[in-house]
Structure 1
């Protein structure tokens, strides 16, 4: 069974061509003979009427009126009432075409004498015989009457139609062959670009959907098909890229979680070991000052563990929020002002001066809870890294298209080599020390980075003349705008 478009088109067009030509052949064979007979009979009637105009007694060999009809394959046998030869056509025409003698008498006998009962004085009768068309009639001129027998050349009709049938059959076969060739050419012109589109589609699948199909096709339908396939390929490629990014993100998250668990296990062991050791030592110490020192150390390690646990919970919360972050238009200055208010007592207890600077128009689309965690990390780090009687400055700046939150302390500068490392999870400097010599979990700045990325915000630090500035830069919006990020 033929399944290709090209094969079916060739077969269908060939069959249609054969059917059409066969119908024409049937119509020709069924109608052409009738038309031929009618034309010959009409011609014989014309010849008979022309003989009426001639003086048959004076009819001569080579008469132009007779010759004209003889050229159209008619032959004449004319005799008077006594069956005397007046004119008998031979196989030729023109002068010398008239015959006499025994051959002429035979034609008169066979065509007139033996069929005299078939002549009618009132009309010229034509007969369509099996092998030829014949006509008989009587012409009266003066006191004489003339028998006129007109017939077409023997077997002319049969030979003619045999040639017609053979010729038409050959025409049908040639036309069918030409039609098949033309059909194959047309089918090939249609199927070739389809085959090319199929090949390009396979290549697109094989090469990661990076092949574009030519849309400039000869046929409008194929151009539309190529355009649709290109659109589909682009969409598939985009979906694949999204899936690859999602898979990479999931793998990264899994790796981070594994690293997180391993690091947490390691980080927890140290303070737990310290606490366990110091608790055991307390019961053997009689020195009150030493006992108080150990108790403070236990409290400090407990607070560090508590902070680490809180940071871990916050990180898991941020990872959850990454799936669906809901934001609202809020005045960043108001959020930061509340944070500073909560840390006021901590600033006072550490004898550190807090300075606040707020611009008025500082609206951004934020998740207030998460931004509060990020800024709180900056503020607590600034306190931890500041000496007594130093100053920490918190600013919220309107920078036309962005809103920038800055926390500046008067601590030591951060080496540029740490520029990227300090944002990594569990990175807290050499020997689990922060950059200014204080202990840290290494989770705070990683949490800030995660929150900033969720808000599509910029983050970082800058060394200044007096210390270090940590910042987050958010895109500014109008107060009336509302939006939810997914």
Structure 2
């Protein structure tokens, strides 16, 4: 992502690391050499004091074996060359037997340069680094060896004439002493400069490696910070699509955790608000439609009820009169008359209940409660309730193993719709005696279709089957006790939910369907 926080964080921290290492390298390159020299001066100070202590314990012309070992350790520890000279300019450390003629000449030239300044023409760029009453520390360049050195020179080694070379007065430094020991210490400055170069080069390598490792580490670490943010962005995007099932599951108590908890609360409140708004909107649409239909529905209802109740009332009246007048005196005939009367009364009772339910739906007295539920689970429960009837009528019912599909509707009303469709299919199944319930997912909707093998309904009558009391085959409807109200109830429910429904003739039977929203 071009503008991701993760990328910005990694780039910013990488730049900070690079800048820090670069500044360290610049400071190192500029001041390390001076700091190294300053540290070397302190080292020469310490070495001078220890050498003086060793020389004060000297007995005889040369150092003892133990003192010589101590001197060698000092030279090794401080990376210096040590020369101890007596008042006659004779070297007694290191012992003359330990070096050859060339080395002896070099030592004498070095001593001579300080005893008689300017005597060695190969020495140049002398510079006093430190002055004390006991010694001077001087930097110089030896053209013969093409090397730079730092020397600690005992003040007793230098002749008074050295003040002409350095342009200074040695009266403040010169000290007559009974000690005939003169110390000269030399340290190679080339090793210092080489160490500085190596240090800077090593720092550069380490810096590059640190930037690479740091960048990789920041990429990994930053993912832990940006992943919750991306999760929250994904949840917010789903909320814009009115999908409130996904929740932030982070358990941290930092700022991101607080934000995630706030989004979860917002999601719940939005879901409740949208449910209420959808219910209110649905009620408003229903009210608008019903205002114009109430009068017509009342007239139609009275007419149909009168027609449907006429037949059972006539039957009840006729058989009741027959019982009263003892037309058939045998007990079997009287029982038959009673059964007819009870059967017709039961049918009238069921029809009245359906009419009352339909009346409530059409007049809006039945509250529509929108909620989100699993349509697959609802269908399975209805199939299970009808299992005994299916087996009795030897009907084979197909319903695939669908995953959960959540819809927005009134669950109780949809249960009535599915039950009516399934009951209608059971009563009209024929031929192969197969019923199939299918779920067809579409954009933001799902279609529930109930198919049964059997006879088709004439195309010109497909629109009429939803009318109250309308019967395509009145003889067959009467046979299984149908009242012609079931599909009218389906129509009233689907209209109250503002959803599509219908019936389709298939080559081998009939299919009834309805649709529901899967998105809020």
TM-score (norm 1): 0.49
The structure with the largest alpha-carbon Rg is: 1
